[in-house]
Structure 1
Amino acid sequence: MSSCCKSGFNWHGTPTGSESKVGNTNTKAYVTGDNKDAAVMIIHDIYGWTFPNLRLLADHFAKEANVTVYLPDFFDGEVIPPDTLTDPEKRAKFDTMAFIGRHSKDKRWDQILEAAKALKANYKKTAAIGYCYGAWACFRLGADPSVIDAISMAHPSLVEKTEIDNVKVPVQILAPEHDPMFTPELKEHANKVIPTIGVPYEYVYFPGLTHGFAAKGDEKDQKQKDGLERAKNSAVGFFKEFLHSS
């Protein structure tokens, strides 16, 4: 993963949800919203389930898309302090690749799948949205319509072409222009392959923006603020369409 994955900005605001667990699993989660029929699972980036920006996004999704949102802990309690985003010394000391080694796909997939199945057992319709690290898991979940009804992702990381090829549910990709993780080659592959699979597909392009903007963009920069709000609104519209239709 690129160093851009640990760069960004902290947002202002206070999350309004609570901490609980995902269904009958032992996985802790930030939970917000009260819809009994539709749920969204946020699969976090490397900053984990306590990252305030993602909790604020969860609150927005719950209110604006009328869903119950779960932001589970898929890193076994390991949390990167949010001020690592803005502290150059802490960013330099943080070993991204060692972190990813501790939380590789092989080590985290079973827990993510278990959480998705637990939500599906309790809600009529479910979706997942992944930010950076979380995107590969969304694609894997999307290979089985019995597990998830729709998947969205922003500036995907660690995604393989075969994971794109196997998707079988509606897909949304929120893609910035500049992204060393979701490369031009992967973008081209997604845009060629997914339209041939026969599932609804929405590719939302953000010119001038970079990897991480949807979860860590600078609110004080108008272009980034407009982009992160557009990404949020796009996800809300996607959830409304595929979680509340008959």
Structure 2
Amino acid sequence: MSHGLLVPLEYHTPGLEDFKFHGTFGVTWLDKPFWQVIISAVLVIGLWLWLSHSMKVVPGKRQVFAEYCYDFIRNTLARDIIGSGFRKWLPYLVALFSFILVNNWFGEFFIFMFPTFSHVGFVYGMALVSWVVYIAAGIRAHGPLKFFKNSILPPDVPPALWILIIPLEFLSNFITRPVTLALRLFVNMFAGHLIIMIFLVGGGYLLTYSGNPMYNVTGGLSIIFSFALFGLELFVGFLQAYVFTILSAQYVSTSIASEH
């Protein structure tokens, strides 16, 4: 009983349990986000194969769209951040941006209606890949000893400060970077999906509440507003894919910089 009104027992407040799914084939981890990752990988590979098929000197609409997407990633996420050596890292950045974008937009598309990266484990997996690429880029450019030495001990640091600088640089470059990279994406996807669920579930409940027209009007407005949130989340999904990719490119840039 709440304020003299009987609240139906079937009402369910959105929460953490809505981000948990049953496994398939008797395997717990073969859940909905796992299959979304597989589907998104197939979609991204298939999309770029289709977009790059039968390229012509005089491009058609498909080729124009493909070149626009490719140039956007090439110019803003690779060349402008990494510099002259960007070409070898471009395929990774194109795949990374496309993969994250598709998984983020799953939250707004019919059937899926769930952003894959609102599960923190998958986000840590993506951050780990970028972290490995960051280290591999530095080792490839400077060799392992020089890369790790300069990563934890910047040039011209007085020996008296080594005991302070070395732990801080190690923490910053090898621990904080992948953690913050992952949490930034996870928090935005998790919070956005949870807010949309609150407006939809709460709005649907109020809209069908009997005996209170004010509740019904409020519920209708809540559902209408949720559609605006869907549009906002499409932008947030794009923005977070952009931020994740540009930070990954920035990490590669710092690892291959001349001071290393």
Give TM-score, length-normalised by structure 2: 0.28
Normalized per residue, which structure has more helix?
A: 2
Q: Of the two structures, which has the highest relative contact order with CA contacts closer than 8 Å and spacing of 6 or more?
A: 2
- Structure number with greater Rg is 2
Give TM-score, length-normalised by structure 1: 0.29
